[in-house]
């Protein structure tokens, strides 16, 4: 990182060997392996499921033109496999459908299941996905007016085991504290949001290598969630405000403890696409050094998801910037060139 080098593309792949007759795209720029949004939703928007291919393409093109060339889709109510043949779109890693109990998630988005059905559903989504599945770990329980765990601990353990046996990793949506011990102790691979993490849980995640995707630009909306719930669910409202107030300190504590942290926007619900640069800045403001925040959205995230960076023979996905983004992360919002599968798309 930070070395001067010459780089060529042959047959859509990087090479450090000169390619005769190659067209020069950029000289003197800063090259970053294609950016990664590790928590995104293709086929979902604020109104619910997006049913058209054009709608899915629009979301992915917005992300692509902001430099995001690899997306981990953390749950979608629609099957977007048709996009796999669209070479002008970012690479997509799917986690299948959200898995949630009845009436404990956004209506129409999740597969709604009884706890006894969860392990089999986890195995099935693992077989349908791209190496990941997504659990809803907690959500508001309207009968008590508060966040509470979505599943019994035994069901969580069985579901994670079923997914692992099928060759998939598991992640989970969590806002509060109560659902986290069962998920982490069962060997979950990643926690989304994680605003309820405690010092002990952070230490356990660090030992296990459990990843965290904080989605800080989504957490910025917690006060809005609290205001909307204040009249009917004052306890939940108070909890969301408390979690908002401590979110960045918990991210900083996780980083300092050695928890792997990756950048994700949660785009596709109430968050519009193309905002990964904002999330990287938010991670830095929470306490990650600039280079660590950048790596969380580029080379480290690519390695975590099994996609190489700028290596000999790797797929030629990169962003070119006119200034060093490690010195000014706001540069990420203005890529000079974007190369996807060896083609200049911007």
pLDDT (0 to 100) of residue 2:
66
Domain range enclosing 50: 35-94+189-307
Instruction: Report the CATH number at residue 267.
Output: 3.20.20.140
- What's the burial of 322, exposed, middle or buried (CB within 10 Å: 0-12/13-18/19+)? middle
The answer to the question of residue 162 being in a domain is no
Structure tokens at 65: 């033109």
The answer to the question of residue 316 being in a domain is no
The answer to the question of residue 80 being in a domain is yes
- What size, in residues, is the chain? 346
pLDDT (0 to 100) of residue 122:
98
The answer to the question of residue 275 being in a domain is yes
Average pLDDT, stretch 111-119? 98
The answer to the question of residue 90 being in a domain is yes
* Count of domains for the chain: 1
Question: Could you tell me if 34 and 302 are in contact, meaning their C-beta atoms sit under 8 angstroms apart?
Answer: yes
The answer to the question of residue 47 being in a domain is yes
pLDDT (0 to 100) of residue 269:
83
The answer to the question of residue 102 being in a domain is no
* Paired strand residues for 36: 70
**Alpha-carbon gap, residue 172 to 174, rounded angstroms:** 6
pLDDT (0 to 100) of residue 111:
97
pLDDT (0 to 100) of residue 248:
98
**Average pLDDT taken over every residue of the chain:** 96
Concatenated DSSP letters for 223-255? HHHHHHHTTT-HHHHHHHHHHHHHHHHHHHHHH
317-333 confidence digits (pLDDT tens): 999 999 999 999 999 99
pLDDT (0 to 100) of residue 346:
86
The answer to the question of residue 40 being in a domain is yes
Share of the chain above pLDDT 90, in %: 96
Look at residue 54 and tell me whether its pLDDT is greater than 80: yes
243-252 confidence digits (pLDDT tens): 999 999 999 9
pLDDT (0 to 100) of residue 4:
84
- H-run or E-run covering 281: helix 276-286
Task: Look at phi and psi of residue 108 and say left if phi exceeds 0, alpha if psi is from -120 to 50, else beta.
Answer: left
Q: Is the pTM of this model over 0.85?
A: yes
Average pLDDT, stretch 131-138? 98
Average pLDDT, stretch 312-321? 97
- H-run or E-run covering 48: strand 48-49
Question: Could you tell me if 341 and 87 are in contact, meaning their C-beta atoms sit under 8 angstroms apart?
Answer: yes
Which letter, b or e, does each residue of 127-152 get, where b requires 16 or more Cβ atoms within 10 Å of its Cβ?
ebbbbbbbbbbbbbbeeebbbbbbbe
Look at residue 3 and tell me whether its pLDDT is greater than 80: no
278-300 confidence digits (pLDDT tens): 999 999 999 999 999 999 999 99
pLDDT (0 to 100) of residue 1:
55
**Alpha-carbon gap, residue 224 to 21, rounded angstroms:** 56
Look at residue 233 and tell me whether its pLDDT is greater than 70: yes
Average pLDDT, stretch 45-61? 95
Average pLDDT, stretch 254-261? 98
- Going by C-alpha positions, the residue among 87, 95, 90 that lies closest to residue 33 is 90
Average pLDDT, stretch 59-64? 98
Look at residue 201 and tell me whether its pLDDT is greater than 70: yes
Structure tokens at 41: 């939703």
């Amino acid at each position: 990182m930070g070395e001067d080098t010459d780089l060529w593309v042959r047959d859509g792949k990087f090479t450090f060997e000169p390619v005769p007759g190659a067209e020069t795209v950029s000289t003197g720029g800063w090259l970053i392996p294609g950016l990664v949004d590790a928590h995104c939703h293709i086929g979902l928007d604020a109104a619910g499921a997006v049913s058209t291919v054009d709608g899915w393409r629009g979301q992915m093109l917005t992300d692509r033109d902001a430099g995001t060339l690899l997306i981990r889709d953390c749950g979608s109510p629609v099957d977007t496999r048709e996009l796999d043949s669209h070479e002008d779109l970012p690479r997509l890693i799917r986690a299948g459908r959200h898995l949630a109990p009845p009436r404990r998630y956004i209506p129409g988005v999740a597969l709604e299941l009884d706890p006894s059905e969860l392990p089999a559903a986890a195995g099935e989504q693992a077989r349908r996905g791209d190496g990941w599945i997504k659990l809803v770990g907690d959500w508001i329980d309207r009968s008590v007016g508060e966040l509470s765990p979505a599943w019994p601990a035994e069901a969580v353990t069985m579901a994670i085991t079923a997914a692992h046996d099928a060759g998939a990793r598991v992640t989970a949506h969590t806002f509060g504290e109560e659902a986290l011990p069962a998920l982490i102790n069962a060997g979950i691979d990643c926690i989304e949001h994680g605003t309820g993490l405690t010092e002990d849980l952070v230490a356990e995640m660090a030992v296990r290598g459990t990843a965290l995707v904080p989605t800080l630009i989504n957490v910025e909306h917690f006060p809005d969630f609290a205001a909307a719930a204040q009249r009917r669910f004052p306890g939940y409202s108070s909890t969301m405000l408390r979690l908002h107030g401590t979110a960045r300190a918990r991210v900083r504590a996780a980083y300092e403890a050695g928890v792997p942290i990756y950048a994700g926007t949660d785009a596709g619900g109430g968050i519009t696409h193309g905002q990964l640069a904002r999330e990287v800045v938010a991670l830095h403001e929470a306490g990650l050094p600039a280079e660590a925040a950048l790596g969380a959205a580029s080379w480290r995230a690519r390695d975590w998801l099994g996609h190489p960076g700028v290596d000999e023979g790797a797929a030629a996905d990169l962003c070119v910037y006119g200034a060093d983004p490690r010195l000014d992360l706001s540069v990420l919002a203005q890529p000079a060139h974007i190369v996807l599968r060896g083609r200049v798309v911007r």
